[in-house]
């Protein structure tokens, strides 16, 4: 159990009956409360359009959602004492006045005016909701007020700049928590500990010792029924601009001056500003075609319901980046993500250089490169390969692996959202994205959005198009699966 953080607060969840609330936020809030991480005075107010829903019905909906996830929803106390519902039409100023009054009533005698305004909404609703919150005076309170914005933050550079300007019209940057749930994963946070807490690895974390870096996010699922969202987004916006870019900056950044939000964010932005413009020959777009995953036949993207028959939306992206600074000059960074892949996997692979002297050229084979694989999902942990002498009287080499898995030291890990929700209440912005990061990221990828080519087809259940393999082989490497 963690010590309760500071004073209690009220979570106001816009999109309070949506999928994100049901699958992630509600169970995370429940587990945090049950583990004693939240003060008992913390309240949760779900906000949605449905005017027929009552507090009692909302609590019944929440208990059913928790039960579906295998949580002990039979314990009615938390739902009955902490969950509330308020109908709001996002275009109605009167509804926001009523919302302000409801929040005030919940805060009275409970939370000292501390509140979290969480936008679990489609991106198209962000601007209108932020404007309405500001005009209703909900951007300030007697205690603290924190605004949480889900990804994607903007659709391109212009929209990101516009959204940042609007947010800053009503909220200070210290109040804003742009969320990327990957940053809440234990292994992502441990990347900082691994790099900066071990002189052995940090001293080798540079161009002299590292040949290349691969960052891959493979999704086994297809888009399913999400064509309405995905047709206007694609893999570059949906995954690369946020998730993979965050992993890139944490992998490549310099040692921060302090383990503090401002210092870490400053170093992440420096990485993005050091990335050279990405050429046409350094990126591959793909789109899954009919195939099989785990023996099950799957349709291609163009056969999914709601997809335009001749859609050019990419479901796969592979690219080569160059971070042009002292540490990384000449080291290629490869980013790859795709849907309908053979398995679900998120990992960072550090490929070290071979020993400079071919001492063992007469003993069967030369040493393989050492590799460090940082696994984020589904198996959170680290794998390090190294060379040893094979047992026996003849001197030959073989590759062995040293493994670490989080379940070996802890039975269960906190979900990324649990970690991030707790950090929001604590007021720690280390694991959240700064305005400068979002803008620097969009500046990097905006030219690619403007010149996206026809995506290469790849069979569902494969690791992507042949063009992506050629991209890797151009520098003498292969993708690590």
Per residue in 188-237, pLDDT (tens digit) is 777 888 888 888 888 999 999 999 999 999 999 998 888 888 998 999 99
Catalytic residue among 84, 155, 181, 243: 243
In a domain, 379, yes or no: yes
C-alpha distance from residue 137 to each of 15, 144, 146, 398 (Å): 20, 13, 13, 66
Is residue 2 scored above 60 in pLDDT? no
Mean local confidence (pLDDT), 58-74: 85
pLDDT single digits (tens) 328-340: 999 999 999 999 9
Range of the domain at 191: 183-413+434-473
Across all residues in the chain, what is the average pLDDT? 88
Residue 392 lies in a domain: yes
H or E, element range at 85: strand 83-87
- Tokens at 369, concatenated: 């490169």
If you average pLDDT over residues 6-31, what whole number do you get? Answer: 91
Within a domain: 174: no
200 and 118 in one domain? no
Q: Could you give the CA distance from residue 238 to residue 339 in angstroms, rounded to a whole number?
A: 11
Q: How confident is the model at residue 76 (pLDDT cuts 50, 70, 90)?
A: low
ω before 222 within 30° of 0 (cis)? no
Whether 243 is catalytic: yes
pLDDT of residue 456: 96
Strand partners, 283: 319
Q: What is the mean pLDDT of residues 8-32?
A: 93
Q: 113: domain CATH number?
A: 3.40.50.720
Q: Is residue 95 assigned to a domain?
A: yes
* Residue 385 covered by a domain: yes
Residue 286 in contact with residue 464, Cβ under 8 Å? Answer: yes
Q: What is the CATH number of the domain that holds 401?
A: 3.30.360.10
Cα–Cα distance measured from residue 286 to residue 222, given in angstroms and rounded to the nearest whole number:
13
| 308 Cβ neighbours under 8 A, 6+ residues apart | 231
pLDDT band at residue 414 using 50, 70 and 90 as cut-offs: low
Instruction: Report how many domains make up the chain.
Output: 2
Residues 438, 397 share a domain: yes
Q: What is the distance, to the nearest Å, from the Cα of residue 163 to the centroid of all Cα atoms in its chain?
A: 20
Same domain for 335 and 464: yes
pLDDT of residue 124: 87
Same domain, 26 and 98: yes
Same domain, 66 and 208: no
- On whether both 266 and 131 belong to a single domain, the answer is no
For residue 359, tell me if it sits in a domain: yes
CA 340: distance to chain centroid? 19
Residues 136 and 241 in one domain: no
Evaluate whether 479 touches 463 at the Cβ level (below 8 Å): yes
């Amino acid at each position: 159990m963690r010590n309760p953080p500071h004073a209690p607060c009220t979570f106001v969840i816009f999109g309070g009956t949506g999928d994100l609330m049901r699958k992630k936020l509600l169970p995370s809030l429940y587990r945090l409360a049950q583990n004693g991480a939240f003060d008992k005075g913390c309240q949760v107010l779900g906000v949605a359009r449905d005017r027929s829903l009552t507090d009692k019905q909302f609590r019944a909906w929440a208990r059913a959602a928790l039960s579906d996830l295998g949580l002990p929803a039979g314990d009615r106390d938390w739902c009955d004492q902490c969950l509330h519902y308020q109908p709001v039409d996002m275009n109605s100023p009167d509804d926001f006045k009523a919302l302000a009054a409801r929040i005030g009533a919940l805060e009275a005698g409970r939370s000292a005016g501390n509140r979290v305004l969480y936008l679990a909404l489609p991106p198209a609703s962000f601007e209108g909701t932020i404007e309405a919150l500001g005009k209703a005076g909900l951007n300030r309170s007697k205690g603290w007020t924190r605004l949480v914005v889900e990804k994607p933050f903007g659709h391109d550079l212009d929209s990101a700049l516009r959204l940042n300007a609007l947010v800053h019209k009503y909220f200070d940057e210290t109040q804003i928590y742009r969320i990327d749930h990957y940053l809440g994963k234990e292994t992502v946070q441990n990347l900082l500990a691994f790099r900066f807490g071990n002189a052995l690895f940090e001293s080798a974390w540079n161009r002299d010792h590292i040949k290349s870096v691969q960052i891959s996010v493979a999704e086994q699922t297809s888009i399913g029924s999400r064509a309405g969202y995905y047709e206007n987004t694609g893999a570059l916006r949906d995954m690369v601009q946020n998730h993979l870019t965050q992993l890139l900056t944490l992998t490549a950044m310099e040692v921060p001056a302090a383990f503090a939000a401002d210092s870490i964010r400053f170093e992440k932005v420096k990485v993005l500003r050091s990335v050279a413009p990405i050429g046409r020959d350094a990126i591959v777009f793909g789109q899954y075609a009919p195939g099989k995953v785990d023996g099950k036949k799957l349709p291609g993207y163009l056969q999914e319901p709601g997809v335009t028959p001749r859609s050019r939306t990419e479901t796969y992206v592979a690219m080569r980046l160059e971070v042009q600074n002292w540490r990384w000059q000449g080291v290629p960074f490869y980013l790859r993500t795709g849907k309908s892949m053979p398995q679900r996997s998120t990992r960072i692979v550090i490929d070290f250089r071979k020993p400079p002297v071919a001492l063992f050229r007469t003993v069967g084979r030369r040493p393989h490169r050492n590799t460090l694989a940082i696994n984020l999902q589904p198996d959170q942990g680290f794998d390090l390969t190294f060379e040893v002498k094979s047992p026996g009287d003849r001197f030959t080499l073989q590759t062995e692996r040293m493994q670490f898995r989080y379940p070996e030291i802890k039975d269960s890990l906190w979900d990324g959202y649990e970690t991030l929700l707790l950090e929001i209440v604590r007021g720690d912005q280390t694991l959240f994205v700064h305005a400068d990061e979002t803008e620097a990221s969009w500046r990097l990828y905006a030219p690619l959005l403007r010149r996206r080519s026809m995506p290469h087809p790849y069979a569902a259940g494969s690791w992507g198009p042949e063009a992506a393999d050629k991209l890797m082989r151009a520098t003498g490497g292969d993708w690590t699966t």
